[in-house]
Amino acid sequence: MILKEKINTEIYNYIVNNYKLNQPILIKDIYASFPETNETTIRSILKRLTEKELVVKIKNGVYGLPNKESIMGKPSVFTSDILSKKYLVNKNGFIGYKTGLSFANFLGLTTQTASVESVISNAVSNKKREIKINNNRFIINAPRYQVTNENYKLLQILDLLNEFDSYSEIDLKTASKIILKYITNIKLTEEELEMIISSYPLEAQVRFYKIGGQNVIASE
């Protein structure tokens, strides 16, 4: 019993000392920070902390510190913060990225906006599915090639080129200037560049080489 209380206290102190108000607390990060503690025990501790209103459960696997200034006491954890921490970025850099219509809009290739944003992430299995975060819907899928801090921009562009006609309101020749600027100075070995490109359908490969994409990638 004393040992359990000690672990309980250690986990709570870790949360308080490492997280700010309105910052999402992912249970998988707690698991990683306490590798010698059984995951079932950690879930039980978080459940007790929630019952005592020392932490607030936002959704499965995501918690937050209570906002004492709020009438409801709930943290205002932004959807973008949860999405980023779970699916887009970890301590080593990018593990995922936004794709589809929202990315085309970001580049200025279309004025359309996505009603449901699409996300590619290493943190999911191969099964494409819809998820909800704070009542916002996202389509999430696994990448064709492992996402890294060095290659995520290239993967975004290849996704775009794969369905270019569906996403862009301007022709490929005009869009190529924007696309090439986005991936200029990416540093990859020739071998990795070829492996990434070859993991995409032929149409995306042809478009990439047609606009000279390989010429702006800096070889390591």
The domain of 24 spans 2-64
The answer to the question of residue 19 being in a domain is: yes
Residues 55 and 155 in one domain: no
The answer to the question of residue 32 being in a domain is: yes
Q: What angle do CA 82, 84, 87 make, to 5 degrees?
A: 95
The answer to the question of residue 200 being in a domain is: yes
| pLDDT greater than 80 at residue 77 | no
Residues 59 and 85 in one domain: no
Residues 106 and 171 in one domain: yes
Residues 47 and 103 in one domain: no
Count how many domains the chain has.
2
Q: Tell me which H or E stretch contains 37.
A: none
The answer to the question of residue 71 being in a domain is: no
pTM beyond 0.85, yes or no: no
Residues 59 and 83 in one domain: no
Q: Tell me which H or E stretch contains 57.
A: strand 56-59
Lowest average pLDDT, out of 63-67, 135-139, 209-213, goes to 63-67
Residues 49 and 85 in one domain: no
The answer to the question of residue 184 being in a domain is: yes
Q: Classify strands 136-141 and 129-133 as parallel, antiparallel or unpaired.
A: antiparallel
Residues 165 and 198 in one domain: yes
Residues 59 and 115 in one domain: no
What pLDDT was estimated at residue 165?
95
pLDDT digits (tens, 9 = 90+) for 139-178: 999 999 999 999 999 999 999 999 999 999 999 999 999 9
User: Stretch 50-58: mean pLDDT, rounded?
Assistant: 83
Among candidate residues 130, 145, 135, the one with its CA nearest the CA of residue 188: 145
| pLDDT greater than 50 at residue 71 | no
Residues 164 and 90 in one domain: yes
Phi, then psi, of 136 in degrees rounded to 5: -100, 135
Residues 32 and 129 in one domain: no
The answer to the question of residue 22 being in a domain is: yes
Residues 40 and 128 in one domain: no
The answer to the question of residue 99 being in a domain is: yes
- Between 54 and 158, the higher pLDDT residue: 158
Residues 9 and 108 in one domain: no
The residue among 38, 64, 90 that closes a domain is 64
How much is the mean pLDDT over the chain? 87
What pLDDT was estimated at residue 210?
96
What pLDDT was estimated at residue 188?
94
